[in-house]
Amino acid sequence: MNWNISSMQCVAQEGDRQDIVTVVHWQCNDTQEIDGKSYSGSVYATCTLPAPEDTFTPYPDLTQQQVLDWIWANGVDKDATEAAVNAQIQAQAFPTIVTLAPPWAA
């Protein structure tokens, strides 16, 4: 699974702190090869973060892993999201509903 942070909304200035992250735009995606074909799934959403309390990391010092840990601690269910991406891929590879032409149209 690939987790990515595409952008972050920030409060520009609050006291002596700058660029305080308040909303994270994230995406989880994956591609799997099944029976010689490639299938992809993706989930995109946002996560609102609470105001930082005691600890504060300046914006230039943030890492993707740190921000991912924040979203997972604030309502984004990592396992459920990855399961949803996998379910999209499985539904493409092994569809349970198909559209067929009438047999007399052949």
For residue 62, the enclosing domain spans 2-105
Answer yes or no: are the C-beta atoms of 69 and 57 closer than 8 Å.
Answer: no
Q: What's the pLDDT score for residue 29?
A: 98
Question: For residue range 54-69, what is the model confidence (pLDDT) as tens digits?
Answer: 889 999 999 999 999 9
Split into its structural domains, the chain has a count of: 1
Phi-psi group of 54: left, alpha or beta (phi > 0 → left; psi -120 to 50 → alpha; rest → beta):
alpha
Pull the structure tokens for residue 7: 């952008």
Q: Is the pTM of this model over 0.85?
A: yes
